[in-house]
Structure 1
Amino acid sequence: MDRFTRGNLEELIRWEQPPCVTLQMPTHPAGRDGEQDVIRLKNLVREAEQKLERRGVRPAEARDLLAFVSDLPADKPYWGDRQLGLAIFVARKLRRLYRVPITLPESVTVGKRFSVRSLLPLLEDECSYHVLTLSENHVSLYEGDSACVKRIALAGLPENLQAFLNIDGVDRGAQVHSAAGGGTNGKQAAVFHGQGGESETAMSELKSYCRAVDQSVSNYLSGRGSPLLLAAVTRLATVYRSCNTYPSLLAVELSGNYDRVSPYQLFEAAWQSLQATRLEPSKKMLGRYLEKVGTAHVLDDPEGIVTAAADGRIEGLLYDPRAEVYGYIDDQLHETRITGRSEDDDLVNLAAVETLLHGGEIHPMAKVVPPSNSPLAAVLRY
Structure 2
Amino acid sequence: MDVLSSETVRELASAHGGIRVSLYMPTKRFSPDAVFENATRLKNLLKEARAELIARAVRPASADEMLKDVHALADDRQFWLGARDGLALFIDGGTRAFRLPVAFEESVYVGERFRVRPLLAAPRADQRFYVLSLSLKRPRLLLGGPDGLRELTVEEMPEGLQDALRWDDFEKRSLQFHTRTAAAPGGRRPAVFHGSGEPDPKEEIARYFRGIDRVLVEHLDERTPVVLAAVDYLVPLYREVSGLKTLASEAVTGSPDEMADTELHARALAIAERVFDREKRAALERVVEQWTSPKVVTDPLQLLEAASEHRVDTLFVATDAELWGAWRNGGPVPEVHPVQQPGDEDLLDVASVLTLRSNGAVHVLAADEMPHQEPAIAILRY
The TM-score, its normalising length taken from structure 1, stands at 0.85
Cα distance in 2 for partners of 1:350, 1:83 equals 28
- 2:209 is matched with 210
SS at match of 2:154: coil
Could you tell me how far 1:33 is from its partner in structure 2? 5.5
- 1:271 is matched with 269
Q: Which residues in structure 2 correspond to 1:187-198 (within 5 Å)?
A: 193=195, 196=198, 198=200
Q: Does the Cα contact within 8 Å between 1:86 and 1:99 map onto a contact in 2?
A: yes
Q: Which residues in structure 2 correspond to 1:41-120 (within 5 Å)?
A: 41-92=42-93, 94-120=94-120
Q: Does the Cα contact within 8 Å between 2:298 and 2:374 map onto a contact in 1?
A: yes
Cα distance in 1 for partners of 2:248, 2:83 equals 36
Q: 1:174-213, CA deviations, whole angstroms, 9 ceiling, x for partnerless residues?
A: 32322679x9x866687665863638xx73x544433321
Q: Which residues in structure 2 correspond to 1:167-182 (within 5 Å)?
A: 167=167, 170-173=168-171, 174=173, 175-178=175-178
Question: What root-mean-square deviation, in Å, do the aligned CA atoms of Structure 1 and Structure 2 show?
Answer: 3.1
Q: Does the Cα contact within 8 Å between 1:22 and 1:114 map onto a contact in 2?
A: yes
Could you tell me how far 1:216 is from its partner in structure 2? 0.9
Q: Does the Cα contact within 8 Å between 1:139 and 1:160 map onto a contact in 2?
A: yes
Q: Does the Cα contact within 8 Å between 2:4 and 2:124 map onto a contact in 1?
A: no
Q: Does the Cα contact within 8 Å between 1:133 and 1:258 map onto a contact in 2?
A: yes
- 2:251 is matched with 253
Change (3 A) 1:146 1:36: closer
Structure 2: stretches of 5+ with no match in the other structure = none
Amino acid at match of 1:284: A
- 1:345 is matched with 345
SS at match of 1:176: coil
Change (3 A) 1:172 1:284: same
Cα distance in 1 for partners of 2:265, 2:348 equals 34
- 1:231 is matched with 229
Q: Which residues in structure 2 correspond to 1:126-145 (within 5 Å)?
A: 127-145=127-145
Amino acid at match of 2:336: I
Deviates more, 1:268-277 or 1:151-160: 268-277
Cα distance in 1 for partners of 2:77, 2:149 equals 32
- 1:11 is matched with 11
Q: Does the Cα contact within 8 Å between 1:48 and 1:110 map onto a contact in 2?
A: yes
- 2:152 is matched with 152
Could you tell me how far 1:98 is from its partner in structure 2? 2.4
Cα distance in 2 for partners of 1:134, 1:191 equals 36
The count of aligned residue pairs is: 374
Q: Percent identity?
A: 28
Amino acid at match of 2:24: Q
Amino acid at match of 1:323: A
Deviates more, 1:143-152 or 1:296-305: 143-152
Change (3 A) 1:141 1:367: farther
Cα distance in 1 for partners of 2:377, 2:307 equals 11
- 1:329 is matched with 327
Change (3 A) 1:150 1:189: farther
Could you tell me how far 1:291 is from its partner in structure 2? 1.5
Q: Does the Cα contact within 8 Å between 2:325 and 2:334 map onto a contact in 1?
A: yes
Change (3 A) 1:187 1:160: farther
SS at match of 1:177: coil
Change (3 A) 1:190 1:20: farther
Q: 1:18-72, CA deviations, whole angstroms, 9 ceiling, x for partnerless residues?
A: 2111122233334225444444333322322232233232332222222222344
Change (3 A) 1:330 1:186: farther
- 2:359 is matched with 359
Cα distance in 2 for partners of 1:361, 1:373 equals 20
Change (3 A) 1:102 1:18: same
Q: Does the Cα contact within 8 Å between 2:2 and 2:96 map onto a contact in 1?
A: no
- 2:312 is matched with 314
Change (3 A) 1:258 1:248: same
Change (3 A) 1:161 1:188: farther
Cα distance in 2 for partners of 1:273, 1:364 equals 20
